[in-house]
Amino acid sequence: MSLDAVLSRIDNDLPEAMDRLLDLLRIPSISTDPAYNASCDAAAAWLVADLNSLGITTEKRETPGHPMVVGHVEGPDPHLLFYGHYDVQPVDPLDLWDNDPFDPKIEETVKGTVIRGRGSSDDKGQLMTFIEACRAWKAEHGSLPCKLTFFLEGEEESGSPSLVPFMKKNAEELNSDIALICDTGLFESKTPAIVTMLRGLLGEEITITGPNVDLHSGMYGGVAINPLRVLSRIIAALHDDQGRITVPGFYDGVPELSDEMEAQWQGLAFDHVNFLGDVGLSQPAGEQDRTPLEMIWSRPTCEVNGIWGGYTGDGFKTVLPSKAQAKISFRLVGDQDPLVIRDNFRAMVRDMLPDDCDVSFEGHGASKASMTQTSDPSFEAARKALSDEWHVPAAYVGCGGSIPIAGFFQDILGTTPMLVGFGKDDDAIHSPNEKYDVESFHKGIRSWARILAALTT
């Protein structure tokens, strides 16, 4: 089969592909707000119709939340599954958008032409790169090159509450050799990458209670316990002077980088000075014996995401608060067990409580990290395909964030995930004025066509 013909078709049909993406972007499929339930349903229906138009047997599958879109193509091995999500983040604060977030525009910027609108990068633009690659392949060859399953969800931005039950119920149908996930980006906005490490996530909210009411600091200061002081001491104790996390057993299951992966990461010449400088910082603040890339991609973290208690309004109010609260998150790697870490963290907090204080905890999710072994020849084939398209050697990289779906494919379906995306660091996902470079969209489509060819020959 001629790959060149498919690539030429992609180039020639780019205007029509962009029009289709703009149509999808106009649907305000905000999954977190029930006011947009009908729009989420409309986005699912749009995708069903589009995939069916390509001869892909597709249907909208109901869940307790927003529907899944599932499509199938029969063909020879390998069996590839493509995952993406059609829901988007809320648009607040609306006044910071230059235009209506659901009236997408093609704009010229100093860095090039971009597609501006909510969901353009996360994840509708990325999702459509794969569909458009399939469209061009079908147009040139009359059929797609292998057995394919399309699995598109509408709750990724709201925690995917229906995802795991749906995957377990339909495991046999969704089982495949490789799960392709397009929800990542280029390294430093220029190097194509396959993400092989994703950190897990554990969220904890703690409330420390001392006196049964707020107290006057003149009458009770010094003699009464102050929950904010107790909480501050606990938070300060979570790290030692070298940046290591002190929760007992925290580093159990944390692997060291292989020599091969460490060498490849060093070859990326990551500029941590500019990375930190862009946000007004200068010094890496994590484990002092680790490189900045290790801190971001392959080392676990403990961060305080919020702390409050007492009086925080205008002016001054001299009280000892009855309660002090904090939200703390842990990014996890390797084989760290989030439930064990939760138990150990809570035990550590309880052990540090003085008399007259109680503590309560509220969990906010617990997911393990996921790692993909690149020994499967498909990974080198895909890496070469990306290198050929971008004229830059593609890299295996880690990701500081958490994409639980990758681990679900491994744990529930026994399927190897392959994460390839074309977003850029300045795409402003989840923020006002989100955009997706036309170059990312165009070369993303071409990249998937090359990967399809590489995995099926």
pLDDT digits (tens), the chain, 457 positions? 589 999 999 999 999 999 999 999 999 999 999 999 999 999 999 999 999 999 999 999 999 999 999 999 999 999 999 999 999 999 999 999 999 999 999 999 999 999 999 999 999 999 999 999 999 999 999 999 999 999 999 999 998 999 999 999 999 999 999 999 999 999 999 999 999 999 999 999 999 999 999 999 999 999 999 999 999 999 999 999 999 999 999 999 999 998 988 988 988 989 999 999 988 999 999 999 999 999 999 999 999 999 999 999 999 999 999 999 999 999 999 999 999 999 999 999 999 999 999 999 999 989 889 888 888 999 999 999 999 999 999 999 998 887 889 989 999 999 999 999 999 999 999 999 999 999 999 999 999 999 999 999 8
For residues 163 and 219, membership in a common domain is answered with no
Q: What is the CATH number of the domain that holds 290?
A: 3.30.70.360
Q: Are residues 352 and 419 in the same domain?
A: no
The whole domain housing 419 covers 3-198+369-455
| Shared domain check, 131 and 36 | yes
User: Of 307, 335, 366, which closes a domain?
Assistant: 366
Q: Is residue 386 part of a domain?
A: yes
Do 206 and 111 share a domain, yes or no? no
Does a structural domain hold residue 267? no
Whether 92 and 138 share a structural domain: yes
Q: For residue 263, which amino acid is it?
A: A
CB atoms within 10 A of CB 111: 12
Residue 9 lies in a domain: yes
381 with 434, same domain: the answer is yes
416 and 331 within one domain: no
Q: Which residues contact 440 (CB under 8 A, 6 or more apart)?
A: 121, 125, 186, 422, 423, 424
Q: What is the CATH number of the domain that holds 44?
A: 3.40.630.10
Using an 8 Å Cβ cutoff, are 303 and 202 in contact?
no
- Is residue 91 included in any domain, yes or no? yes
Q: Is residue 274 part of a domain?
A: no
Last residue of a domain, one of 309, 338, 366: 366
Task: Report the relative pairing of strands 79-85 and 147-153 from DSSP bridges.
Answer: parallel
Q: Is 327 left (phi over 0), alpha (psi -120 to 50) or beta?
A: beta
Tally of domains within the chain: 2
Any idea what the Cα angle at residue 442 is, between residues 437 and 446, rounded to 5°?
Answer: 140
> 81 and 122: one domain?
yes
Residues 336 and 373 in one domain: no
| Residue 266: inside a domain | no
Domain boundary pick from 350, 366, 382 = 366
Residue labelled with tokens 């316990």:
225
Instruction: Please indicate, yes or no, if residue 149 is contained in any of the structural domains.
Output: yes
Same domain, 316 and 184: no
Question: Are residues 189 and 245 both part of a single domain?
Answer: no
At a CB cut-off of 8 Å and minimum separation 6, what does 216 contact? 318, 319, 320
For CA atoms 447, 420, 194, 380, give the dihedral sign.
negative
The answer to whether residues 445 and 315 belong to one domain is no
